[in-house]
Chain A
Amino acid sequence: MTDMAIQITGLVKQYGEKTALEQLTLSVPRGEIFGLLGHNGAGKTTAVNILTTLLPPSSGTASVAGRDIQTQPAEVRRVIGYLPENVQFYDNLTLHENLMFFAQLSGVQHPAARIRVVLDIVDFPGHERERMGTFSKGMRQRAGIAQAILHEPEVLFLDEPTSGLDPQGVATLRNIIIRLNRELGVTVFMNTHLLGEVTRTCTSIGILSAGELIYQDSIAATMNSFPGQDSLEEIYLSIAAGTPS
């Protein structure tokens, strides 16, 4: 078993004339909570879409939990969990029915028991019989995390998981992500704009600019490397200012 949860080498993604990712090379060790930062349009979502096998790369290679995304896409899908930004689920179905649906599609052996376990992990009991159309954004995100970990994935991809949540919702989700990482050993790869949350949640970061990785290090090393800067936001802005956006 490789020590790297994610290994990307020379990844390129082009949409016609436009280059979304330019020779992206990046490694994320197992057990990390990795935050991928960057301006809008920097290529963060494209990178996640390629790693989750939703998009084919134009060139380059990438593997997730030791499985190649191009030659073993079905294997990759078995070991990843994914929560896209602004996912709505099926509003006419209850939380339990939504989770049962995704559990069955993922081949979970005892889905009903597993649903109870994941709802306990995301601290979300008592809503199983409610239709998801009645859920708030925060409740949907918790349900989203629950569906993403139903099949016990090795790597969890989260696209802007705290976007649009109130401070209470952000704190709850942060605690869930940290718990998944520390207690269950899940590697987390998340895109986010909320730099304050990155400091509290992530163990390492990478910064993308115009499709290129311009910085990667652990949070602790990053904070120590920029002694004049008080916050990750200032560090991010100073790093990003050194490159064309």
Chain B
Amino acid sequence: MAEVGVLCRKELKDLSRSRAIAMLLVFLSAVILLSVLVAAADYRVKLAEYTAYADALKAAGGSPTPPPNLFPLQMLRAGIEYLEIVGGLFAVILGYGLVAKEKGSNTLQLLFTRPLGRHAFAGGKILATVIVWLVVVVALFAVIALAVLLAGRAQLGGQDFLRLAIAAAHTWVYFIMWSLLALTLASLTRQPASGLVLALVLWLVIVLVIPQIGDTMDPDNQIPGGFFASLQIDRTNEKALLTHFASYETGRDFVEQTSATKQYERAVFAYLGVKSQYNQMPLGAVWDATSHNSLWLLGTSVFTVAAAFLSTTRETLLRKLP
């Protein structure tokens, strides 16, 4: 167990000094921050429009209608999409580097001529991955919360911070999944670059291709602005109409659910209220509606932890040396 701690500390020190990793994380933070700032500007415009309308109406002696539903956490939609796409890609690169560097620099031979336990190497790498993403995700969400508070001039309550924390936890699990998948593939291939290519193909399929197929199959996406909206069909009637296409919708949903990215997105969008049907819904109700998404994401991550644990043994790594 002490060896796991030694290996983990070395990895964290190494990662914390890696210029490449620092640049990737700064880039990720910058694009997320930018997306929040753009959304915050849009939020402020909507607020100003409403205030101006309310002031004008009051001045004319009328009473304004209730304010539009402006939910500050909805500003995070683009930011979350960046996390699932760009963040997932960075997680793949980080996980690949954890094994590729050891293989490329012949340090594996140094490590495995020491009296290490069978799973010490795997334990150190996995623990380091878990810790590094915990630190990064906490930092990213702190930046996000500050941006929403300061740039969006939003009032966030305890519930909102709890929703942000739940979104952060999902993001943490999601990043761990991608890093450990790449680590596993880099361990199982003689040339780690082949493992990286495989991981990138999986990233492409899971992050981009499957969600795109699901979106394309969605009848509401067939016309810009929404198929049902263009026919002036409201939500209730839309649902009633879709019951006639239940098999098709189940199939489409199944395709989407094979993507861990979609599971992550559905759960996080629900907790943040990005999807209107979950907005202002109590957390318990959101959990009831999306627990399967969270559990599938968690299950996939647990699977990658197990795969990383079993694939980074001394025997496998030495057999697959370049």
Q: Which A positions have Cβ atoms within 8 angstroms of B?
A: 52-55, 74, 77-78, 80, 82, 84-93, 97, 101-102, 104-107, 131, 147
Chain B interface size band reads: 20 to 34
Is B109 a contact of A93 with CB atoms below 8 Å?
no
B48 at interface by CB-CB < 8 Å: no
Main secondary structure on B side of the interface with A: helix
Interface centre among A84, A85, A105, A147 (most CB of B within 10 A): A105
Contact of A88 with B106 in the complex, beta carbons under 8 Å: yes
On whether the beta carbons of B105 and A89 are closer than 8 Å, the reply is yes
Q: Which residues of B contact A88 (CB under 8 A)?
A: 104-107
A84 to B107, CA, bound (A): 9
Q: State whether A93 and B110 are in contact (beta carbons under 8 Å apart), knowing that A105-B3, A106-B115, A107-B115 are contacts in the complex.
A: no
B242 part of interface (Cβ distance < 8 Å) = no
- B residues less than 8 Å from A82 (CB atoms): 109-110, 113
Q: Looking at the complex, which of B10-18, B136-144, B262-270, B290-298 is the stretch in contact with chain A?
A: B10-18
Q: Fill in one digit per residue for B88-131: 1 if any A CB lies within 8 Å of its CB, else 0.
A: 00000000000001001111011111111000000000000000
The answer to whether B204 has its CB under 8 Å from any CB of chain A is no
Determine the distance from Cα of A28 to Cα of B129 in the docked complex, in whole angstroms: 44
B198 CB within 8 Å of chain A: no
Does B286 belong to the interface (CB within 8 Å)?
Answer: no
The answer to whether B318 has its CB under 8 Å from any CB of chain A is yes
Instruction: Determine whether the beta carbon of B318 is less than 8 Å from that of A54.
Output: yes
**How far apart are A198's CB and chain B's nearest CB, in angstroms?**
23
B6–A101 contact, CB under 8 A? Answer: yes
With the chains together, A87 CA to B102 CA distance in Å?
10
- Which chain A positions have C-beta within 8 A of B6? 101, 104-105
**Alpha-carbon distance A91/B107, docked complex (angstroms):** 11
Closest CB-CB distance, A145 to chain B, in whole Å? Answer: 12
**Inter-chain contacts of B110 with A (CB < 8 A):** 82, 84, 87, 102, 147
Interface contact B18-A89, CB-CB below 8 Å: no
B114 touches which one: A85, A93, A102 (CB < 8 A)?
A102
| 21 A-B residue pairings within 8 Å (CB atoms) | A53-B112, A54-B113, A78-B115, A84-B106, A84-B109, A85-B106, A86-B106, A87-B107, A88-B104, A88-B106, A89-B105, A89-B107, A93-B10, A93-B14, A97-B13, A101-B6, A104-B6, A105-B6, A105-B116, A131-B17, A147-B110
Give CA–CA (A53, B113) in the complex, Å. Answer: 7
Besides A52-B109, A84-B109, 13 more A-B contacts (Cβ < 8 Å) are A52-B113, A77-B115, A82-B113, A84-B106, A85-B106, A87-B106, A87-B110, A89-B105, A89-B107, A90-B107, A92-B14, A97-B13, A101-B10
The residues of A that contact B3 with a CB separation of less than 8 Å are 105
- The interface of chain B, by Cβ under 8 A from chain A, is 2-3, 6-7, 10, 13-14, 17-18, 101, 104-107, 109-116, 318
Q: Which residues of A contact B112 (CB under 8 A)?
A: 53-54
Residues of A within 8 A of B104 (CB): 88
What chain A residues lie within 8 Å of B101 (beta carbons)? 90
CB contacts (< 8 Å) of B18 on chain A: these are 92
Docked pose: A92 CA to B3 CA in angstroms: 20
- A111 CB to nearest chain B CB (Å): 10
Give the residue name and chain of the B residue nearest to A73 (CB). Answer: B115
Specify the chain B residue showing the minimal Cβ separation from A105: B114
Q: With a CB–CB cut-off of 8 A, which chain B residues contact A52? A: 109, 113
Q: Which residues of B contact A74 (CB under 8 A)?
A: 115
> Are B13 and A87 in touch, CB under 8 angstroms?
no
Contact present for B109 and A54 (CB under 8 Å): yes
Residue of B with least CB distance to A55: B318
Instruction: Write the chain B residue with the least CB distance to A106.
Output: B114
Cβ of B106: which chain A residues have Cβ within 8 Å of it? 84-88
Contact assessment for A92 and B13 in the assembled complex, using a CB-CB cutoff below 8 Å? yes
Across-interface contacts of A84 in B (CB, < 8 A) = 106, 109-110
Residues of A within 8 A of B107 (CB): 87-90
* Bound-state Cα–Cα, A131 to B18, Å: 12
Q: Provide the residues of chain A in CB contact with B113, threshold 8 Å.
A: 52-54, 77, 80, 82
Chain A residues with Cβ under 8 A from B318's Cβ?
54-55
Look across to chain B and name the residue whose beta carbon is closest to the beta carbon of A85.
B106
* Given A92-B13, A97-B13, A147-B110; A87-B105 close (CB under 8 Å): yes
